[in-house]
């Protein structure tokens, strides 16, 4: 670990904004801002159940995962063409670059779109074009992770995988998202086994609202390399030891946890506990348009509420690169950039 000299509390937000970082838990459909939803609805002639951008913003006052998901799927209904998928991802990637994100691994939910008659190629080509453009125009590397909606069936997940395989070069892995409780990881054990044979990276949401048992089965039955959220793991000491020993990263999303009432207040978030236990915890934005902030907002608000230090800022950024699916050379390069940014700041 690179030791970081103490930095005055009032300079910490600037350090958090400036430090290079990776984002590993962002649902691209969750980056869709009300303004862009209305613009796409207009150009695609989709009728929205909201009269104005302001009314849609007001509807974002949801209280749990399910009430959020209901609005989330309504917002995604405006995405029809390749250009729409490109524009959505491009809007996110520009914001990420402004937050000094150097690398992003982006979730997308093809079933949300194919169920509406949008072709898999339309979704993947549009998103992929934005990733290619981000590397060329922003110097930001970005790759895509296909997520299965866990409230749907195993058979539907297999169909989705089949539809995506002709475009295998455009995504690096698969994940599992949507309503967690009642849909344990083991429901998708065979799908993940197939994805593993195909050489895809494997991640899954587990232990967000669901119990530590879901984290265990994500690890042991799905054989995932990263756990998305995983904050309920602190309830199980044996699981915490496993996560630390095997260096299984957790992609933690503090503002999402706050908005979905996983924690009653940001000051009560367990990020510090995860770091103190030696876990490879990272900070991410999840669905930034809906949860009140992009990556730097997650960092600055969480640090302000919990009193984490500059050393922990460095650790979280270093963890984000370690936890990413990039090669060892790229990891070393990003880590050097991180150390240089801290040295320049001190």
287 marked as binding residue: yes
25 marked as binding residue: yes
Element (H, E) at 101: strand 101-108
In angstroms, give the least distance from the CB of 284 to Zn ion.
8
Nearer to Zn ion, 84 or 286 (CB): 286
Active site residue 273: no
In angstroms, give the least distance from the CB of 147 to Zn ion.
8
Q: What angle do CA 286, 228, 16 make, to 5 degrees?
A: 55
27 marked as binding residue: yes
3-state class of 292 per DSSP?
coil
Nearer to Zn ion, 29 or 286 (CB): 286
Please tell me the number of Cα atoms within 13 Å of 119 on its side-chain side.
8
Each residue 254-293 as x (binds Zn ion by CB under 5 A) or -, in order, gives --------------------------------x-------
Element (H, E) at 206: strand 201-206
Q: How far, in Å, CA of 30 to CA of 224, rounded?
A: 23
User: Is residue 23 close enough to count as binding Zn ion by CB under 5 A?
Assistant: no
In angstroms, give the least distance from the CB of 218 to Zn ion.
13
User: Is residue 180 close enough to count as binding Zn ion by CB under 5 A?
Assistant: no
3-state class of 15 per DSSP?
helix
304: tokens are 């302000």
147: tokens are 């997520």
In angstroms, give the least distance from the CB of 11 to Zn ion.
31
54: tokens are 């302001």
Phi-psi region of 229 (alpha: psi -120 to 50; beta: other; left: phi over 0): left
Residue, CB closest to Zn ion: 286
Nearer to Zn ion, 105 or 286 (CB): 286
What residues form the annotated binding site for substrate?
287
Binding site residues, Zn ion, CB under 5 A: 286
Catalogue the active-site residues: 208
């Amino acid at each position: 670990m690179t030791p970081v000299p103490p930095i005055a509390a009032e300079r910490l937000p600037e350090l958090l904004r400036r430090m290079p970082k990776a984002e590993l838990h962002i649902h691209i459909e969750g980056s869709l801002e009300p303004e862009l939803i209305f613009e796409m609805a207009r150009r695609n002639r989709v009728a929205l159940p909201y009269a104005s951008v302001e009314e849609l913003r007001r509807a974002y006052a949801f209280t749990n995962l399910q009430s959020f998901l209901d609005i989330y799927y309504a917002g995604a209904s405006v995405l029809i063409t390749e250009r729409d998928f490109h524009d959505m991802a491009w809007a996110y990637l520009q914001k990420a670059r402004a937050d000094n994100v150097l690398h992003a691994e982006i979730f997308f939910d093809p079933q949300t779109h194919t169920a509406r008659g949008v072709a898999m190629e339309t979704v993947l080509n549009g998103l992929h074009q934005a990733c290619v453009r981000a590397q060329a125009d922003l110097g930001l590397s970005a790759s895509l992770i296909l997520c299965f909606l866990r409230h749907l069936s195993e058979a539907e997940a297999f169909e989705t995988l089949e539809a995506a395989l002709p475009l295998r070069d455009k995504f690096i892995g698969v994940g599992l998202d949507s309503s967690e409780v009642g849909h344990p990881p083991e429901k998708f054990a065979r799908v993940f086994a197939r994805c593993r044979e195909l050489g895809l990276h494997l991640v899954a949401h587990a232990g967000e609202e669901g119990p530590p048992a879901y984290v265990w089965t994500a690890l042991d039955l799905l054989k995932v390399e990263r756990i998305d959220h995983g904050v309920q793991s602190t309830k199980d000491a044996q699981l915490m030891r496993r996560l630390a020993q095997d260096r299984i990263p957790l992609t933690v999303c503090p503002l999402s946890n706050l908005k979905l009432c996983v924690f009653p207040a940001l000051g009560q978030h367990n990020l510090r506990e995860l770091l103190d236990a030696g876990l490879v915890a990272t900070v991410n934005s999840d669905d930034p348009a809906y949860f009140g902030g992009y990556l730097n907002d997650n960092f600055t608000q969480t640090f302000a509420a919990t009193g984490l230090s500059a050393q922990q800022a460095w650790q979280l950024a270093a963890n984000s690169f370690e936890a990413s699916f990039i090669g060892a050379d790229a990891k070393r390069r990003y880590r050097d950039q991180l150390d240089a940014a801290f040295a320049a700041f001190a």
